[in-house]
Structure 1
Amino acid sequence: MYLNYVNPKIGTLNDNRFSSGNLYPVVGLPHGLSSFSIQTNAHGQRWWYHPYDRSFEGFRLTHQPSPWIADYGHIVFMPSSGKHGMTNDQRWSYFDQEKELLTPYEMSYYLSRYQVDVKLTPTNSGAYIKLDYKKKDLNRFTIFGQDGFLYYEVMDAYTIHIKTNAKVEHTNPEIIEYVLIKTNQPFTFENMNNALSILFEESSVEIKIVTSFISHEQAYINYNRELKYKNYDQIKQSAIDIWEKALSKIEVEDQNESLKQVFYTALYRSLIFPRQFHEFDALDRPHHLNANLAKVFEGYSYVDNGFWDTFRTLYPFLSFYDPTLYKKMLTGYHNYFKENGFYPKWIAPNEMKIMTGTLCEVVMSEGIMKGFFTNEEAEEIVHALVKNAETVDPSQRFGRKHPNLYQKLGYLPNEIGSSVLSESLDYYYGDYAIGLASRKVGLNSISNKYLNQSENYKKLFDSKHGFLRSKDQDGNFNTYFDPFDWGGDYIEGSAWQCAFSVFHDIKGLDTLYNHKLSEKIDELLTTEPNYNVHMYGQEIHEMSEMASLGFGQLALSNQPSFHIPFIYAELGNIKKTNQLVESLVKKLFKPGYDGYPGDEDNGSMSTWLIFSCLGFYPMDPVSTRFVVSGPLFDRVTIHLEQGNFVIEKSKINLDTCKTHFDYADLIKGGHLAELIK
């Protein structure tokens, strides 16, 4: 079983000062509406799991994309016996980690304090729980509200309706989740403060839980489709089959068992987000809650995704790994535009309006370039992308910042605030994306405008200091500059991490460096990992992680550095990229609790690892080209819709092979060695 290689605890050793993934174990189905985990210590709202804890505070129904975005629709279910404990400190129980079972398809524990065996297996929007009470006392199952109100109605001795507005990052309008609970044994109940405790006389109890963000009526539809008339073993086997089918699409043959464990765990992580947020009505038609408007619309919807993180690797991966799913996601984002008037930036499930850029422009344009839309559909999307790029949103919730000023100057000036160089670079790549997509559908005037705008990064090159920097409105650089200053012009980094993000024109950037960009990357890798907290005012975890990695100023712990190792290959030196990538993977990714070098972020770092192991990388996703880096595994077979794509390390000569190949050739199947010889 490929599932035997997956360890949900990899990358779960974290706190707010240092990240080894910032992950929690996810028990759920790929892209499922709801996920479940174990809550071990919820003194903090955002870090409520730790792999060394021996304390069980309950099964947690969770939707948390990351601790920085935090949870919503979360509820804790705690089996116990005897007297009820009102706080986590009063009610937690020790569990033996040697007897713990924690997989993507099931988790199982024995709670020593209460002498109860508990286990859970997931469905798309819910779970099946089995309880075996061994202590002769009150058999209790308590449902706790978290960061919001828990409203409940006991319908009969087997059925409970719950509503919650739980959300750590509070929002207006509220996001309501509807939960249906069905038991196989009759219960009595006790009302408590923001909690409901149900009591059973029988010692063997089964509980079915299902959720909806639309209505209780929809929850019943989900229940009838997923859980009604099914037993625990059937649900568990279905979850196993779904995960096995997903993981087996990439077949790895290699003696390095440790790297295979890391690889398949990364594949599992890359299939959790974005979350499917649409639900199917009784006639199997998709509809969804728009959390920004508190209205229900027809069509697909996907949430829990930040495009700043995921445009680089996740969507290029999904475009060939699962084209059908990928098309549904893009359709969902266009639905978002039609409902809100703008494309999403960071949705969880409402617009979080964080990070730089409007990088859904890149994802949508990539879909056009890869042929996922008819010409008519693509033309509609291009006009929507132009609106997204040029329209001022009075609420400042959507779209680009100061689009008129950006187009007038060709950059965002530093008088308007922080991160303007990073923001401008994101806009340049968005412009390039719109330019390519509009050219593909024959909108040449739009294409010329946006492709020309994408070249404006050259205005911001400071040849004196050797970095891209911001300017003021008069076109002047600040006289003060320190490349080790974090913040200011840049987001989550300094010039060393953030000033090479010209994905669409690495050779043009090389020209600005007098064809010595490779030497500049050499310098980056050998410069001490020093940093100044500068505009942040305090050390942030990305600084600490960069200093810990051992690759100079290369902060692979964070997305702005993801492409930097592949610059050598982009400029013709595949072997140098291969050696660096192999060192990065070998040193920074491991099958332990500290398995990631920084925030994994919704599949973005996992798919970086996947590409690195496969031997190619989407430096410029919109172009549809992949740059070759050389595989790390002996042999890989990717089972694609049109045929198998085979990668054989021994048949690839990195000294003589081509540097690039195209998406269109990849999806036909065949052999990587033949494509690049």
Structure 2
Amino acid sequence: MISIDTRTGTASHPNFSHGNTLPLTGVPFGMNYLAVQTAGENGAWFFDPESRNYQGIRLTHQPSPWIGDFQHCLFNAVPQGSHDATGVYQPDAATFSPALINIFDEHHQVRTQATATARGGALRFTSHAETLDLQMNAPDRWQVLRHDENSIVLQLQNFAASEDSNFSMYLALGTDAQIDWFAATVLLDKTQSGPFTTPVTAGGTLILPGTNDGPTTVWFATSFISPEFAQRELAKLRPQSFFSLAQANQTTWDDKMAIFQVQDRHADRVQTFYTNWYRALLYPMRFYERDEQGSPVHYSTIKQTVLPGRLYTNTGFWDTYKTSFPLYALVLPEQYGYFLEGFLNSAKETGYLPKWLSPDERGMMPGTMADAVVADAVTKGIRPDLWPELLAAMVHGATVPSPDGKYGRPNLKDYHTYGYLPADIHESVNQTLDYAYSDALIGVVAKALGKNDLAEKYTKAGHNYRHLFDPQYGLMHPKDRSGRFVPDFDPFTWGTGFTEGSAWQNSFAVYQDIPGLINLAGGPRPFLRTLHALANAAPQFNVGTYGGVIHEMAEMSALSFGQIAISNQPSFHIPYLFALAGEKSATELIVKQLLLHVFNAGPAGFPGDEDNGSMSSWYLWSALGLYPVRPGFDDYVWGIPLFDEVTIQLPDHALNLTTENNADYLLFVKERIADGQPIDQATITHQKLIDTQQLTTDLQLLPSL
């Protein structure tokens, strides 16, 4: 059994990120997760791995501290009458695992164990005290809807944002303790309390005094649909002991972990691989439930009613399309199909494919990058029954502006007029490059469906990136409305047309036509000179239109890896561009150094925001020795493998990856052999990869001449 500590990447704060993650316990792609809370006063940064404070177990749906939480609450148990709910724990003695939290509060002398299923879970409290106060704390609005001898149903309403101002979560709690309902109260603040049936409008704590003849178990279940859905889910959980639920959840994780079987002499690196795989399996989160017939249904915050079908939330496509979704396409294609169902349902309800869901559209980041998720499914043959409707949604987003800027492509009229977005528009370069990429992806899907005229139109539009290429610098350069490059260009200046970076990080997002980008630069040698200048430049920056230092700037500086800011998503593919331009040795050298020195399984395990599995998936791909540089175009670029041996359990057979002469000082690939045949190309198609059973890579000291 693989042991994973979920605290990876949690040593983060608003000014500097080692992941901006939470120590989440649940099941893959769950509807809820549990996390220890140590610092609720810090808002979205409510867990500090170095803090010894213990405030309780938080039921959370937070995908990122920059997005915030929704429908969250805090569970705890303290000896009856205790006025200070905050406890103290020993971090090194606690268990933080994907299936189990085990923590001992030394202040109150209460041990808390917690586990979470897809839509519920259980907590187990053990104490020598005769009675315990079971506590549930939530912000904003909530109320008790019903209760009986040892169960209660609540309605919670707290969220960072939603299209539905009355969006609710129904929380059903059941316990094996006997609740003293006459003594049950709601504590609104330190001095004011009332009957437990009091509706709460600005946050408070529900206190349920219960007998404690041995350990107390509390089962919980949630629903975004109705109290009845929550109660029905609770009824499935209550016959099961805490330990049987925890074991079932552990088995679920073990099954997913077994997709990769890693063998290597460095146990810490193996640990890092599986910890990243855990992170990659958390998002997107389920946002659907099962009706009495077992069919998937969901609450639509857009239509404000219950609708059939799957729905997913808590993913930002600007981050995850690059690495996470291609990984699911390779090893979890059936699950990928379910994701597509959910994203199509989002499009049916809003008119547009989603961009950043939590719980509904947040409209964060440039582009409409779900287009890449669709096109990648098409090139890999996943769910062809959905392709026509998905293509229609892609075209709608490319042609019909929304009055609400959260949806679709903002500033479409300007894009169609100029072929680019002018410099007076926020993030003009990144928006232009992303729109052009999406146009090319529409061409991919249209061609697969035999719509050749449409394919030709959008494939041509995919060349719009050329409008902003400045041959003087070999980089993208914002243009004004008259077609002139804006003056005083500085490739080290952030903002001014670029997103979370400068021209160095953001000029190479031309996934649909990298050969064309290389030609614009004057050919492979000039293109490589630009890449070498990027890699060898100091990690300096000018704050530009950001007006001050943001955490991404600090993280790039701390990484000190030139302008290859692997700490943020725009740079993810840059190390692999060297290979595509004919210098595979540079790709191998850079990638291996990043794998050896930048990532680990600890609280400081990431060089920047992990972002819903995207950075974890970058590590996974790179450690396997290949990378999906251009989702939607059916190929991977070779890098350099990290491990002695990895077996990947594909849906229909095992793919074995073996590395010979695997030593840290051997930085270059001598040869690759797939099923007995040498591979000389810089890329391999998806079909060729999944048809392969044995891939052997041999390393050497110097690159071959």
User: Contact 2:27 / 2:249 at 8 angstroms: preserved in 1?
Assistant: yes
Structure 1 position 440 matched with structure 2 position 448:
yes
Task: Give the match for residue 156 of structure 1.
Answer: 148
Q: Which residue of 2 aligns with 1:127?
A: 121
What is the match of residue 666 of structure 2?
none
Partner of residue 93 from structure 1, selected from 87, 90, 108: 87
SS in 1 for 2:277: helix
Q: Find the partner of 1:666 among 678, 686, 689.
A: 689
**Alpha-carbon distance in structure 1 between the residues aligned to 2:154 and 2:99:** 25
* 2:186 alignment counterpart: 191
Tell me which residue corresponds to 1:212.
223
Pick one of 76, 87, 99 that aligns with 1:105.
99
Aligned to 2:476: 468
Paired position in structure 1 for 2:463:
455
Contact 1:390 1:404 in 2 (8 A): no
Residues 58, 72 of structure 2: 8 Å contact kept: yes
Determine the structure 2 residue equivalent to 1:247: 257
Task: Find the aligned partners of 1:644 and 1:72 in 2 and give their Cα distance.
Answer: 40
Q: CA deviation at 1:224?
A: 3.2
Q: Deviations over 1:317-361 (max 9, x none)?
A: 000111110000011111111121111000001110110001111
TM-score (norm 1): 0.96
Aligned-pair distance for 1:650? Answer: 2.1
Q: How does 1:597-612 map to 2 (within 5 A)?
A: 597-612=607-622
For 1:224 and 1:645, the matched residues in 2 are separated by: 42
1:13 to 11, 14, 18: 11
Aligned partner of 1:140 among 129, 133, 149: 133
* Corresponding residue number in structure 2 for 1:66: 64
Does residue 653 (structure 1) correspond to residue 665 (structure 2)? The answer is: no
Show CA shifts across 1:262-288 (max 9, x none). 110000000000001111111110011
Q: CA deviation at 1:60?
A: 0.2
C-alpha displacement at 1:180, in angstroms?
0.2
CA-CA distance at 1:469 after TM superposition: 1.4
RMSD: 1.7
Aligned to 1:427: 435
User: What is the CA–CA distance in structure 2 between the aligned matches of 1:397 and 1:219, rounded to whole Å?
Assistant: 31
- CA change 1:174–1:469 in 2 (3 A) is farther
**1:522-537 equivalences in 2 (<5 Å):** 522-537=532-547
Does the CA-based 8 Å contact 2:592-2:640 persist in structure 1?
no
Report matched runs for 1:217-232 at 5 Å: 217-225=228-236, 227-232=237-242
Aligned amino acid, residue 582 of structure 1: K
Deviations 1:623-677 (A, max 9, x none): 1101111211111110011101111122973486321111122333512349xxx
1: CA distance between counterparts of 2:607 and 2:378? 33
Tell me the amino acid that sits aligned with residue 91 of structure 1.
Answer: A
| Alignment-mate amino acid for residue 506 of structure 1 | I
Amino acid aligned to 1:245: D
Cα distance, 1:171 vs structure 2: 5.4
Post-superposition shift, 1:78? 1.6
Cα deviation, 1:200-258, whole Å, max 9, x if unaligned, reads 12243111011111111111222234x13111121011011100000011011111111
Q: CA deviation at 1:402?
A: 1.8
**What's 2:508 paired with?**
500
- Which residue of structure 1 lines up, in the alignment, with residue 407 of structure 2? 398
SS at structure 2 position matched to 1:91: coil
Distance (Å, rounded) in 2 between the aligned partners of 1:180 and 1:597: 39
- Pick which of 403-412 and 653-662 moved more: 653-662
Q: Tell me the secondary structure at the aligned position of residue 691 of structure 2.
A: coil
Q: In structure 1, the residue corresponding to 2:212 is in which secondary structure?
A: coil
Measured against aligned partners, the alpha-carbon deviations of 1:386-432 in whole angstroms (never above 9, x if no partner) come to 011110111222100122321221111123x2201001001111111
Deviations 1:590-642 (A, max 9, x none): 23211100000000000000000001100111011011112111111100111
Residues 474, 527 of structure 2: 8 Å contact kept: no
Q: Partner residue of 1:30?
A: 28
Amino acid at match of 2:670: N
Structure 1 CA distance for aligned equivalents of residues 520 and 601 of structure 2 = 41
Letter in 1 for 2:687: A
Match of 2:200 in 1: none
| Distance in structure 2 (CA, Å) of the matches to 1:436 and 1:548 | 39
Corresponding residue number in structure 1 for 2:420: 411
Cα deviation for residue 547 of structure 1 reads 0.4
One-letter amino acid of the counterpart of residue 108, structure 1: N
Given that 1:640 and 1:669 are in contact with CA atoms closer than 8 Å, whether structure 2 keeps it comes out as no
In 2, the alpha carbon distance for the partners of 1:572 and 1:256 equals 32
Q: Secondary structure at the match of 2:114?
A: strand
CA deviations over 1:7-26 (Å, ceiling 9, x no partner): 21111100000000001100
**What SS does the corresponding residue of 2:74 show, helix, strand or coil?**
strand
Listed as ranges, the matches of 1:348-359 within 5 Å are: 348-359=358-369
Q: Deviations over 1:172-207 (max 9, x none)?
A: 433210000001121021222222100112243111
- Indicate the residue corresponding to 1:484 in structure 2: 492
AA matched with 1:141: L
| Deviation for aligned residue 1:121 | 1.5
Relative to structure 2, which stretch is displaced further, 571-580 or 436-445? Answer: 571-580
What letter matches 2:276 in structure 1? A
Aligned to 1:295: 305
Tell me the residue number matched to 1:42: 40
**Residues 150 and 195 of structure 1 are in contact (CA less than 8 Å); yes or no, is this contact kept in structure 2?**
no
In 1, the alpha carbon distance for the partners of 2:426 and 2:403 equals 20
User: Deviation at 1:40?
Assistant: 0.3
Q: Distance in 2 between matches of 1:532 and 1:584?
A: 25
Q: Using the TM superposition, give the Cα deviation of residue 84 of structure 1 relative to its aligned residue in structure 2, in angstroms.
A: 4.5
Quick one: distance in 2 between partners of 1:325 and 1:591?
A: 26
Match 2:632 to one of 622, 630, 634: 622
Equivalent residue letter for 1:185 = A
Q: 1:33 is matched by which residue type in structure 2?
A: M
Task: Letter of the 2:654 partner, please give it.
Answer: N
Preserved contact between residue 164 and residue 304 of structure 2 (Cα < 8 Å): no
Deviates more, 1:13-22 or 1:516-525: 516-525
Deviation at 1:154, TM superposition (A): 4.7
Structure 1 position 82, deviation (Å): 3.5
Rate the CA distance shift 1:340–1:502 in 2: closer, same or farther, 3 A.
same
Q: Contact (CA 8 Å) 1:276, 1:301: kept in 2 or not?
A: yes
Contact map agreement 2:595 2:642 (CA 8 A) in 1? no
User: Unaligned stretches of 5+ in structure 2?
Assistant: 189-203, 662-668, 673-678, 698-705
Larger mean CA deviation between 462-471 and 243-252 belongs to 462-471
- Residue by residue over 1:149-179, the C-alpha shift from the partner in whole angstroms, topping out at 9 and shown as x without a partner, is 1211451120111111111346543321000
